[in-house]
Amino acid sequence: MTQVLSHPEEVTPEFEKDAARAQSRRGFLMALPTFVYLGLFFVLPFLIVIVYSFATRNRFGGTDLSGWNFEAYRKLGDSVVRDILFRSIWLALITTIICLVLAYPFAYFIATRRPAVRNLMLVFVMIPFWSNFLVRNYAWRVLLGNDGPVSQLSEVLGLGETRVLFTPVAVVLGLVYGFLPFMILPLYAAIERIDLRLMEASRDLYASGWQSFRRVLLPLSMPGVIAGSILVFVPSLGAYVTPEILGGAKTTLLGSYIVTQFLTARNWPVGASLSFVLMAVMLAATLVYFRKGGRTL
Amino acid sequence: MTVRPTADFDTAIDAAVSIGRITKKFGDVVAVDNISLDIVDGEFFALLGPSGCGKTTTLRMIAGLEFPTEGSLKIFGEEVGMLPPNKRPVNTVFQNYALFPHMSVIQNVGFGLKMNGVAKSEVADRAAEALEMVRLGGLANRRPSQLSGGQQQRVALARALVNRPKVLLLDEPLGALDLKLRQEMQEELKGLQRELGITFVFVTHDQEEALTMSDRIGIMHEGKLLQVGSPEQIYEKPSNRFVADFIGNTNLLEGTVQDAETVCLANGARISVASDHPAGTAVAVSLRPERAVIGKHESSGNGQTSVNGVIRSVTYLGNAVVYQVELDWMTLEAREENRTSVTRREPGQRVSISWNPQDVAVVAE
Ligand SMILES: Nc1ncnc2c1ncn2[C@@H]1O[C@H](COP(=O)(O)OP(=O)(O)OP(=O)(O)O)[C@@H](O)[C@H]1O
Ligand SMILES: [Mg+2]
């Protein structure tokens, strides 16, 4: 197929061209349901969001689709929104870094086990997915709550009362917990493909253990690092459930703010413009991934 | 191996690698079984043996990629058995080359120098020089994946040699190359070794390669080092049955030692051959096909340096002719160079096989 397509047009015999065309038509037909689905439930709503982001909020909390302007985007420069944006990016970044640091050694460990052990451990990594995300977040609320095991333990240890729940720490904890598998799996996939004899070769060439990691393992596992980071950073940035449940009123993040704009403040244009900016950032990040890492993953 | 008095430091240093009673176990598997060996400075030493005999494990212990379960390992007199690989003055050419795929050829070659803290400009110069040495000067900026197998092999060689190791370890470095390239590289390797004077420890399971390239060969089998010697010693005077059988082709005539001068063969014939095994030891007399002289059938047969038989088959090899000769109790192979002066024999013909007493070796288990 690729062979056929890579031929210059004029040397491709007519029937081969026909065959290629027929095949691509068949492929299109098979993918059609997905195209329709994505079009209806992703592209169309996305366009609607864009349209609304340029609209005007009227006095009654409704939205006028007549007067197009950039007012909503201008409002994103407000210090309130800016603070929320920076806080969200900051927490997402911390979450990503913590996930990376936790996941890398673990992924390396799995990748260097025997295949049977490997599969078992991968199943363990995926076990949290078997229960609902919401339920798991509420479980954390119990764990971190005032009379929960964490505060009880800290009192027993004489550390005094600890207040983790409703702080940014609880949010990061919940996000790390929720998204860690998204870091482990791509890292594992990347490390698993690396010929680990290269590490021996680097040790033989006078590299210390750290240098071998830094010069050989890390660069070769970069596709996994990038993929995992994007898979954790992007949903952390837009997270709604976890900050709502574990975060306090002071740690409003982007997701909650957008919801507030739509439901409480009834300012759809601002909610829409913020959504659009967020999606543009995620899209850009995803494109970077496909450019840098996706190619080899 | 000679045992030296412990106070005698100076003489111990002439061994590039000194392996003392080393054993390596992986769980229950004894990969290397109590090996002692001194590899002399500047020699080309081959470790030869069938698959799974422990060659790679031995080499990896010298490199520091595996730690011995027991025993001592010295490099130029310094105990290194438990040092990590980056602390040893040795470098390895890996069987699969293990070139870093994310680095260019020149970066690969410069890697060891860089890790050793050599100044940047010197790294560049020396890496370029090493690439010239293996005639790859023009490919410095390629990626390893853009090179042929033979070129990758040379990069691996340059990457190791650029560090001027005291000992170079090579694990079947030519295994993946086709015959022609392999022979070319054999000569090149040998030439480099002579020129640089570096001790080479070369692992192979190809006996021809070992015989043609090495100063000395160590034959391994099931984790044990069976014999160490020059190619001639190994071929002419195998110390036991496995070595005789493994190196080249040979006929093993079963028998028992009668006295210091005589071995009694399975058919009752007494042949005169010197051996130092005690009387009654089960041995085999090793007779190389090219040392077996085919002659006219003798009705008596002196029995001491010849046996009678019938030609079963004739195989024409071009440069030689190989005969399978059937005796009453076994089949012998005899090989004659294809000279016009020798008469070709036919299947069914009755002949005698004889030999010079110094051409046979007595080997025990
Ligand atoms: N990491 C390991 N774990 C368990 N067993 C091992 C390990 N490495 C080697 N062995 C075993 O030790 C023995 C010797 O292996 P080694 O690789 O040294 O053989 P070799 O002589 O290099 O063989 P080949 O010619 O096939 O490369 C084999 O039985 C092998 O299965
Ligand atoms: Mg091996």
Best of B26, B65, B206 for a ligand 1 pocket test (most atoms within 8 Å of beta carbon) = B26
Burial class (CB in 10 A: 0-12, 13-18, 19+), A264: exposed
Does the pLDDT at position B255 exceed 60? yes
Residue nearest to atom 17 of ligand 1 (CA): B56
- Is residue B360 within 6 Å of ligand 1 at its C-beta? no
B219 lines ligand 1 (CB under 6 A): no
**Of the candidate ranges A183-187, A202-206, B1-5, the one whose mean pLDDT is the lowest:** B1-5
What distances in angstroms separate CA B295 from CA A65, B196, B319, B334, B342, one per listed residue? 113, 50, 20, 11, 11
B22's CB contacts (< 8 A; 6+ apart) are B32, B34, B35, B36, B58, B61, B68, B70, B71, B72, B73
Checking if the pLDDT of A56 tops 60, the result is: yes
In sequence order, what DSSP letters do the residues of B19-33 get, joined into one string? Answer: EEEEEEEETTEEEEE
Instruction: Give a yes or no: residue A26 inside a domain.
Output: yes
* B202 CA to centre of ligand 2 in angstroms: 11
Angle between helix B120-133 and helix B149-161 axes, rounded to 10 deg: 130
Atom nearest to B220 CA in ligand 1: 21
Does residue B5 have a pLDDT over 80? no
Exposure string over B193-224, b if 16+ CB within 10 A, otherwise e: beeeebbbbbbbbbbebbbebbbbbbbbbebb
CA atoms of B98 and B294, how far apart (whole Å): 51
Nearest CA to ligand 1 atom 6: B26
Could you tell me if A253 and A226 are in contact, meaning their C-beta atoms sit under 8 angstroms apart? no
Choose the most confident range, by mean pLDDT, from A46-60, A240-254, B31-45.
B31-45
In chain A, where does DSSP find H-type helix?
2-6, 14-38, 44-53, 71-75, 79-111, 115-126, 133-144, 149-156, 168-192, 197-204, 209-212, 218-220, 222-237, 241-246, 254-263, 268-289
d(CA A127, CA B119): 51
Report chain B residues whose CB lies below 8 A from the CB of A202: 100, 111, 115
Looking from the CA of residue B27, the nearest atom of ligand 1 is 4
Q: Do A198 and B115 touch (CB under 8 A)?
A: no
| Closest approach of A109 to chain B, Cα-based (Å) | 19
Q: What pLDDT shows up at residue B260? A: 84
Tell which of A19, A38, A53 closes a domain.
A53
B40 in helix, strand or coil? strand
What number is the average pLDDT over the span B154-167? 95
The two tokens of residue B187 are 């000569």
Kindly determine whether residue B98 and residue A215, on different chains, have CB atoms separated by under 8 Å. Answer: no
Flag whether pLDDT at A54 surpasses 60. yes
Q: Helices B105-115 & B120-133, crossing angle to 10 degrees? A: 130
CB contact at 8 A, B43 and B196: no
Measure the CA–CA gap between A197 and B94, rounded to whole angstroms: 9
What is the rounded distance in angstroms from the CA atom of residue A3 to the CA atom of residue A65?
Answer: 50
Instruction: Report if residue A69 sits inside a domain.
Output: no
B56 lines ligand 1 (CB under 6 A): yes
Q: Specify the pLDDT at position A249.
A: 73
- Collect all residues of chain B within an 8 Å Cβ-Cβ radius of residue A206: 86, 112, 115-116, 163
B223 vs A253: CA distance, rounded Å: 65
CA dihedral angle for residue A162, residue A168, residue A170, residue A172, rounded to 10 degrees: -140
For residue A259, what are its two tokens?
């919801």
Chain A partners within 8 Å of B123 (Cβ): none
Q: How many domains does chain A have?
A: 2
Tell whether A38 and A160 lie within a shared domain. Answer: no
Q: Which of residues 196-215 of A touch B (CB under 8 A)?
A: 197-198, 200-209, 211, 215
CA distance B89 to A205: 10
Nearest residue CA, atom 16 of ligand 1?
Answer: B54
Cα B116–Cα B112–Cα A191 angle in degrees, nearest 5: 115
Average pLDDT, chain A: 87
Q: Which residues of B touch A (CB under 8 A)?
A: 63-65, 84-86, 90-92, 94, 96, 98-102, 111-112, 115-116, 159-160, 163
Q: Which residues have beta carbons under 5 A from ligand 2 (an ion)?
A: B 56
pLDDT at B358 over 50: yes
Burial A98-123 (b: 16+ CB within 10 A, else e): bbbeebbebbbebbeeeeeebeebee
Q: Is residue A239 part of a domain?
A: yes
Please provide residue B288's backbone torsions phi and psi, each rounded to the nearest 5 degrees. -70, 140
- Phi (first) and psi of residue B259, to 5 degrees: -150, -175
Of B228 and A4, which is predicted with more confidence?
B228
List of residues 6+ apart from A145 with CB closer than 8 A: A151, A165
Is residue A172 in a domain?
A: yes
- What pLDDT shows up at residue B12? 47
Residues A129 and A203 in one domain: yes
A129 lies in some domain: yes
Ligand nearest to the CA of B47: 1
A181 and A108 together in one domain: yes
Sheet with B350-354: strands ordered across: B293-296, B350-354, B306-316, B320-326, B331-337
With CB atoms and an 8 Å threshold, state whether A204 touches B65. Answer: yes
- Least trusted range by pLDDT, from A136-150, A198-212, B238-252: A136-150
Containing domain of residue A275, as a range?
77-294
Question: Are A241 and A275 part of one and the same domain?
Answer: yes
Arithmetic mean of pLDDT, A235-242: 90
Contact B136, B158 (CB under 8 A): yes
- Chain B residue with minimal CA distance to A209? B86
Query: How many whole angstroms from its chain centre is CA A110?
Result: 22
Overall average pLDDT of the B64-72 stretch: 95
Return the half-sphere exposure (C-beta side, CA atoms, 13 A cut-off) of residue B43: 18
pLDDT at A94 over 70: yes
Q: Do A22 and A150 lie in a common domain?
A: no
Interval A70-97 mean pLDDT: 90
Q: Which of A191, A205, A208, A215 to mutate to test the interface with B (most CBs of B within 10 A)?
A: A205
Question: What pLDDT was estimated at residue B103?
Answer: 96
Q: What percent of chain A has pLDDT over 90?
A: 44
- Please name which of B90, B84, B79 lies closest in space to residue B13, comparing C-alpha atoms: B79
Q: How far apart are CA A229 and CA A101, in angstroms?
A: 11
Q: What is the DSSP string of A162-176?
A: ---TTSHHHHHHHHH
pTM above 0.95, yes or no: no
Instruction: Specify which residues B325 forms β-bridges with.
Output: B311, B332
A214-229: average pLDDT: 94
- Mean per-residue pLDDT for B14-23? 92
A139 assigned to some structural domain:
yes
Is A71 inside any structural domain?
A: no
Do residue A108 and residue A200 come from a single domain?
yes
Does A47 share its domain with A106?
no
Residue A225 near chain B (CB below 8 Å): no
Same domain, A116 and A46: no
Residue A64 is inside which H or E element, if any?
strand A63-64
User: Where are the extended beta strands (E) located within B41-116?
Assistant: 44-48, 70-75, 78-79, 90-93
Query: Mutate which of B60, B90, B111 to disrupt the A interface (most A C-beta within 10 Å)?
Result: B111
Distances (CA, A) of B292 to B251, B268, B275, B287: 9, 20, 19, 7
Instruction: Write down the pLDDT at residue B302.
Output: 56
Q: In angstroms, what separates the C-alpha of B73 from chain A's closest C-alpha?
A: 17
CATH of the domain at A263: 1.10.3720.10
Mean pLDDT, range B173-182, rounded to an integer: 87
Do A104 and A151 lie in one domain? The reply is: yes
Give the span between the Cα atoms of B181 and B76, in whole angstroms.
34
Nearest of B290, B216, B306 to residue B250 by alpha carbon: B290
Per-residue pLDDT at B14: 73
Distance in Å, CA B46 to ligand 2 centroid: 13
Average pLDDT over residues B229-246: 93
Q: Is A218 on the interface with B (CB under 8 A)?
A: no
User: Ligand 1 pocket check: which of B57, B169, B207 to mutate, most ligand atoms within 8 Å of Cβ?
Assistant: B57
In a domain, A70, yes or no: no
A29 lies in the same domain as A90: no
Local confidence band at B10 (pLDDT 50, 70, 90 cut-offs): very low
| Phi, psi of A127, deg, nearest 5 | -55, -45
* A6 — pLDDT class (breaks 50, 70, 90): very low
User: What H or E segment, with its residue span, contains residue B60?
Assistant: helix B55-63
In a shared domain, residues A38 and A107:
no
Three-state SS at B308: strand
Whole-number pLDDT of residue B287: 93
pLDDT of B45 reads 97
> What is the pLDDT confidence band of residue A12, given thresholds at 50, 70 and 90?
low
Shared-domain flag, residues A167 and A276: yes
